[in-house]
Structure 1
Amino acid sequence: MGSKKDIQHRIVTAFQRPLNRVVRRLPGHQLLETTGRVSGQPRITPIGGRRTGDQFWLVSEFGERSQYVRNIMADNRVRVRLHGRWHSGVAHLVHDDDPRARLRALPRYNSAAVRAVGTDLLTIRVDLEA
């Protein structure tokens, strides 16, 4: 039997997978493109975060258990789609940041969802290229 975190992770990701397939096709949504650590193929994940200057900040609800975070750990070169335009960048896991405080500075609805379902919050900073 899995832990409560394992069960919550499985339930949430089972719900998110089909929803994400639809959301990533809709215009205007923020997307993160990573390179699959096994396949080498582009992997696109709907995200919620905020651009601040040449950085984009987001919080993963399942930390290093999230597939996109595991992809970042294998290859931190990413792309972020903001307002319909793709931006290349380098992602960094920011373990010493307070993800709950960070969520207060990010878009409200996404932050509320991350807080509600997240078990291992982890801040991610993407340094965007010019």
Structure 2
Amino acid sequence: MTSRAERRYRVVTAFQRRVGNPLLRRMPFQTLLETTGRVSGLPRTTPVGGRRVGDTFWLVSEFGGRSQYVRNIAADPRVRVRIRGRWHTGTARPLPGDDPVARLRTLPRFNSAAVRALGAELLTVRVDLDG
């Protein structure tokens, strides 16, 4: 990762960790992804932008494999996703072969624009929802 991308990663993740995510988690209809912490074993909840298509939820991680929730998914793919205030269980998997820029065109515009502008290592994540 270039020094500019590294700097962007540090600034964006610090802001998300301290300001953005705590505020967004409190919003009742914000989409949330809950993973299991790979070290602690505790639930970790992250606000995400994405879209449900049938029994699949799609999202794009702005920092790919460096994102904590992607690292948690690698350790334990069982997740929960809160969509429109309702929790769904599922199995998540990163899709490095998918075109994340093309995928962002199918997802909500505001979040997609932010991910494209701030992200450095985009990675598509697919969540297959249970029933």
- TM-score, normalising length: structure 1: 0.97
Q: Which residue of 1 aligns with 2:112?
A: 111
1:6 aligns with 2:6: yes
Aligned-partner residue type, residue 60 of structure 1: S
Fraction of identical pairs, as percent = 67
Alignment RMSD: 0.9
Q: How many residue pairs are counted as aligned between the two chains?
A: 129
Q: Which sections of structure 2, spanning at least 5 residues, go unmatched?
A: none
CA-CA distance at 1:3 after TM superposition: 2.0
What SS class does the counterpart of residue 38 from structure 1 fall into?
A: coil
Separation of aligned partners in 2, 1:5 and 1:74:
25
Q: Which residue of 2 aligns with 1:41?
A: 42
Q: Which runs of 4+ in 1 moved over 3 A?
A: none
Q: How does 1:1-130 map to 2 (within 5 A)?
A: 3-17=3-17, 18-130=19-131
CA-CA distance at 1:26 after TM superposition: 1.0
Q: For 1:39-74, what per-residue CA distance to the aligned partner results, in whole angstroms no more than 9, with x for missing partners?
A: 000000000000000000000000000000000011
Separation of aligned partners in 2, 1:10 and 1:107:
25
Q: For 1:81-123, what per-residue CA distance to the aligned partner results, in whole angstroms no more than 9, with x for missing partners?
A: 0010000000011111000000000000000000000000000
What SS class does the counterpart of residue 8 from structure 1 fall into?
A: helix
Separation of aligned partners in 1, 2:38 and 2:92:
15
CA-CA distance at 1:7 after TM superposition: 1.0
Aligned-partner residue type, residue 26 of structure 1: M
Separation of aligned partners in 2, 1:8 and 1:108:
21
What SS class does the counterpart of residue 90 from structure 1 fall into?
A: strand
Separation of aligned partners in 1, 2:91 and 2:102:
22
- TM-score, normalising length: structure 2: 0.96
Q: Which sections of structure 1, spanning at least 5 residues, go unmatched?
A: none
Separation of aligned partners in 1, 2:20 and 2:51:
21
Aligned-partner residue type, residue 5 of structure 1: A
Aligned-partner residue type, residue 102 of structure 1: R
Separation of aligned partners in 1, 2:49 and 2:14:
19
